[in-house]
Amino acid sequence: MFGREAPQENCAGGKIDIEGRGTFMGQEQKGILIVVSGFSGAGKGTIIRELLKKHDDYALSVSMTTRDPRPGERDGVEYFFTDKKHFEETIRQNGLIEYAPYCGNYYGTPRAYVEEQLEMGKNVILEIEIQGALKIKDKFPESLLIFLMPPSAEELKRRLESRGTESADQIGRRLARAVEESEGVEAYDYIVVNEEPEECVEEIHRLVDAARKAPVRRKALIQEIRSELKSFAKGE
């Protein structure tokens, strides 16, 4: 349980919290926790959907949010939609891995599903903004952070306007937020430019596949080989 109040919301980012001790990360045969971030309008949702369609070793962590659904979005599929009271109760019950305020609403990652999928060997994708991503990396150093970039700022603006779901003022706030987010991109492990969606999907998959072979994720194999070599060296 939390012994404190939930943070105040604000579009500039505000306070962020992250819960848990990382006990489900870094063990052999478990999946990788992958964070995919990007400016609003960079195409994160489209790329993640295609990645899940083409490869069966991924699972998407469905975030919880207090924002209103957009046309076509379904509760429990794109997001778990809830109100501020329920969201803050979930925080107090330690039910979120991370959460953050963003442009007047809360966004957070439910804990139980993520832990279950990682134990099954699935690579779990978190689609979260930069504040949460950096906190995830701090708590779980073996997580993989990928930032999805548009080909240009002009293309980003065009994509936001073509949605037709937000006012000019809302689009302006998202662009202003993108300026702030651009200051933290260097902390990510990789940047992938989303110009051609199919190529972008395969590039991300290649990065994840390579990450699974990193020494930090092959500890059991390293220890086994090391032990056998020591035995051979002793003439056993």
> Strand 96-102's sheet: what is its strand order?
17-18, 96-102, 105-110, 63-65, 79-81
Predicted confidence at residue 174, as pLDDT, reads 84
Cα–Cα distance, 120 to 176 (Å, whole number): 40
In a structure prediction context, what are the per-residue pLDDT tens digits for the chain, which is 236 residues long?
Answer: 333 344 444 444 444 454 443 444 444 568 999 999 988 888 898 999 999 999 999 999 988 999 999 999 999 888 899 999 999 999 999 899 888 888 889 998 888 888 888 989 999 999 888 888 888 888 788 899 999 999 898 888 888 888 877 788 888 888 888 888 888 899 999 999 998 999 999 999 999 999 988 888 888 888 899 999 999 898 87
Any idea what DSSP says for residue 223?
A: H
Q: Find the distance separating the first CA and the last CA of the chain, reported in whole Å.
A: 53
Q: What's the CATH architecture for 17-233?
A: 3-Layer(aba) Sandwich (3.40)
> pTM of the predicted model, to two decimals?
0.72
- Quickly list DSSP for 168-213: HHHHHHHHHHHHHHGGGGGGSSEEEE-SSHHHHHHHHHHHHHHHHT
Nearest of 142, 179, 128, 148 to residue 23 by alpha carbon: 142
CA–CA distances in Å: residue 96 to residues 19, 26, 63? 7, 19, 9
pLDDT reported for residue 205: 96
d(CA 59, CA 126): 9
| pLDDT of the residue at 208 | 95
Which pair of structure tokens corresponds to residue 120? 């099954």
Give pLDDT, residue 175: 87
